[in-house]
Structures are given as C-alpha cells and as structure tokens.
Structure 1
C-alpha cells in the first residue's frame, strides 16, 4: 500500500514539473533543486532529531537521487513525457531485477516474473504509441539516453537503500538535503529563482509535499519490508496514475490500447501481494484436509 500511494503521488510529479517549465521559467536542474529543498523542509518536522545526523550512506543516496531526478526532468524537456516515461520506467525494473540478483542475492521468482512481464506489457501499451509517434529525432534520442541514466540512478538508490535499510525518515530527509546541495551550484549558475506567481508558488509547494516528501517517505519505509524488485514493479503504477490525471485534468484522450495498459499496470501492482496470499490460503486448506 505504501508503494502504491507513492506511485500515485509520483504520477503527478512529471506534470507538475512540466507546468513549472512554462509558468515558473525553470529548467530541469531548477525543478529538481526546489523539489528536494522543499521536500526536506516539509519532511523535517516529522523526523526525529536523532535521525538528522548525516552519514556516508545518506550522502550516496542523495547523490543518486540528484542524478536520476535531474536526468528524468531533462528527458521530459528533451523529448516529452511519453518518451521519458516509457524509457525510464521500463528500464528501471529491469535494472533493479538484475542488480537485486547480482548484489543482494534476491531471486525474482515466478510471481515476480509474472508481475514484471505484466507491468512492461502495460507500460508499452500505455505509452508506446505516443513514444513511437515522437519519432527518432535528436530530442527523442537525447530523451532515451537521459531516461536510461535516470533508470540506472533510481535502481541504484533502490538497491542501496534495500541493502542497508536505514531509518526511512532520516534517509529521505538526508537524501533530499544532499541532493539539493549537489544541484545548488548548477542551479544557481543558471538562475534558480522562479517567476513568482500564484501558479508557480502553488506548483512548487505541491511538488515538495506530495510527490516528494510524502512519496519518498513511504518509498523508503516500504524498502525496509519489500524486495527491491517488488518495489520497482509496483512503482510502475506511476505511469497509470499520470495517464488518468491527464484525462481528468487536461482533457487528454487514451486509446483502448492505452486503457488496457493502465489495467495491466494496476494488475501488476496487485500480483506481488495477491498470488502469494492465494498460495498461502490454498496451502492452509490442503493442510486442514
């Protein structure tokens, strides 16, 4: 449930970032800087004082967050939401599954394979048509490269956090602070202050609270209990949430194939919990006999 809520919140982050490009006059570095700075500010009051102390693991997580977040927003700026989403979110569970097997010794298992295949099929149906329509131009090529970099960074943070399982609130706040510090010199060099308006301020506050402080707090908490690959697969629900948001708020239309993709992504979110539970119930029934 934590990862599902985080995915739904993340699904609104790309749209908020894209709106800030226009209304606030910000670029990918600026949006990432403000996201982490405000995320730390909003989460800090809910974090015990003993967890504020930085350490080497938090520094590495913050560096990884700075890389993958900026690469994702840069991919959106270069090639649009569709290409950035399909590449980043499609590659992330693959990188995570491979890294989880190599570095954590976690097996994907039959349930995990079902969920991964279902999720990737849903993602391709949801965004594939739009991504292909973007064409193989320079923007699309840059988006593919930046999206792959973002996926690698996200997978690395997920695997590292799963490996050490530090206090989730402290890891989130520390990661935000370190990420903001890493991005500050680059953001300041280009002029980090947004064009102040009611819309830009509201978008920045929203970006800091919902898809950052709330979502990452739940994400790091979930990694103390779930395998890294499971978390990355369930996180793909972000794409379905973003698509539905586009329909409800921006008047976008989805094809039948895209709606089928949304359904498959939601199914993939349920599989990791539903299949093992069904097997346990069947096992108990057999034992009772």
Structure 2
C-alpha cells in the first residue's frame, strides 16, 4: 500500500464530506428533490471530466474494448444505485442512522466478500481500526440517531446501500489495462447520470434555478463527486478495499466540521470525542514501513 494512494483515499473521503454541506446550500437556494440532486451531481461530474479529457484528446471512445465497457457500465450503475438508495435510506431512517448504517456496513461487506472469495481475513490492526471508526462514527452522529416509524425499513435499505458502495470498491480493486482513473470516472459517471434521468423523472424532477444554484450544483458535481471519485479510484491501485471503506468513514466527520464552522451547527463534546476516535482509526490504518507497496 503506497502512502500516496492512501492519501488519495483520505482526500476522497474529505471531498465527499463537502457534499452534505453543498447539498444543504443547494436545497436552500433551489428546491431540487433528492433524486434529481443525485442525477445532476453525476451528470455534471461525468460531463466536466469528459470535456476535460476531450480537450486533452484522452477520451478515446473508439479504443474501448469489452473489458473497459463492462467496467465503465458496472461502476456507473453501482454508483447510480448507491446515490438513489442512500437518499431513500435517509428519507426513511433519517440522516444520522442511514449514514451510520450505510458507511459503517461497507467495510463489513468487503471483509465478507474477501473471506468468501479469497479466504482473506483482516488482521488485528485493521479490525481494531474498524471498531474505533464505528465507535467514533456513532458518537459523532449520536445526536441525530433518531428512529422514526419507518426506521427498520430505512435501516434495511442502508445495509443494501453499504453493500453497493462495497461493490464499487471491490469491482475497481484491479485496474483495467488502458483505462485510467480519470477516463473511468468520466465515462462511468456520464453513463450513471443518464441512467438516473428516468429515476429522477419518476421520483422527483427538479433543476437548479439561477446562477448561484447552478454554481453550487457545479461545485457539488466537480469537487464532491468528480474529484472525490477520481482520487478514490486512483487510490485503489494499491489500497485494499477494506482499508479504503474504513477510511471513507471520514466523510461524515468532514461534513460535521463544515456544518459547525459554516452553518453554525452544534457538534457537542460527543461529536468532538467521536471525531478524534474516528481520526485515530485512520491514523492506525496508515501504511507501515514494513508493509508491501502493493497487495494486488
């Protein structure tokens, strides 16, 4: 596991954490339903990256082989499904509970897959990091862990959502020759965004209104989505999927810090302690000197 790839995953989780903040600003500036938010962020991310690659002459649609197309469609479909399921889980179970179950279950799904498929089990250091991360996440989200009438259904949806995110990670654990992270992110998100258009039409269509709203939407698509997934998929070159999904638990910590600093939300001592514990879990997972550079 190379340190630069580990830091790429940390950067991805940090950028994902800006999504909730930008989503809140978008909701305040323009009434866009959750399904349409998911659609716009994927479309914008895919189109911006594709245009950037086209300007450099790096899109190369004609050079795509079957393996590349399968990886692009798999990544785009899984990411689109994750976006819709995550917002559905939030609507049913609330932000705190849905986030805890979704992000918290992803490492467990990856561990189960690796154990069933490869016979691999995470070592004691990684298990300890997961326990610390989940404990810190629970403390961080403690004030928002309210259960409504549909909490059980929402929790079930969140567990499935965590499995889908684990799928994105596992599918991309081995790069496809000739398909770099930028090209994969651009084409898969364009495909995934287009897949979400009919979903948004059924579940709730809306578009940003005004320059300010579109600016927020572009930031959500470029910063919180395109750059975040570009960093994440790049990091998977040597970072094990289990480690990557645990590090992704930094996302709600960044969101909570931004909420406290910019939106005036109260973090509380439980949130401070939880954030510190969560941060210690990520430090525990950092590459060790005697660790091989790549496990793939």
TM-score, structure 2 normalization: 0.85
Q: Distance in 2 between matches of 1:161 and 1:195?
A: 32
Q: Which has the higher helix share?
A: 1
3-state secondary structure, aligned to 1:251: coil
For structure 2, the 5+ residue unaligned runs are 1-6, 292-296
Aligned match of 1:118 = 132
Tell me the CA shift for residue 106 of structure 1. 4.0
Distance 2:230 2:280 in 1: 24
Decide whether the 8 Å contact of 1:12 with 1:242 is kept in 2. Answer: yes
1:80 Cα deviation from its structure 2 partner: 3.2
CA contact (8 A) 1:28 1:77 kept: no
**Structure 1 residues 23 and 223: CA distance shift in structure 2, 3 A:** same
Alpha-carbon distance in 1 for matches of 2:76, 2:52: 19
Note if contact 1:104-1:163 (Cα within 8 Å) is conserved in structure 2.
no
Pair 1:68-2:82 in alignment: yes
User: What's the offset of the Cα at 1:169?
Assistant: 1.6
Deviation per residue, 1:90-142 (Å, 9 max, x gap): 111111221233235543112211211111111111113420xx23422x334
Counterpart of 1:162 in structure 2 is 173
d(CA) in 1 for partners of 2:147, 2:225: 31
What's the RMSD between the two structures over aligned residues? Answer: 2.2
Distance in structure 2 (CA, Å) of the matches to 1:18 and 1:83: 18
User: Which ranges of structure 1 fall in alignment gaps of 5 or more residues?
Assistant: 281-289
The higher relative CO (CA closer than 8 Å, separation ≥ 6) is in 2
Moved more, 175-184 or 216-225: 175-184
Larger mean Cα displacement after TM superposition, 187-196 or 167-176: 187-196
* SS of residue paired to 1:87: helix
Separation in structure 1 between the aligned mates of residue 94 and residue 114 of structure 2, nearest angstrom: 30
State the shift of 1:21 in Å: 3.9
Partner residue of 2:71 out of 57, 67, 86: 57
TM-score by length of 1: 0.87
CA contact (8 A) 2:72 2:187 kept: yes
* SS of corresponding position for 2:32: coil
Task: Please name the residue that 1:286 is paired with.
Answer: none
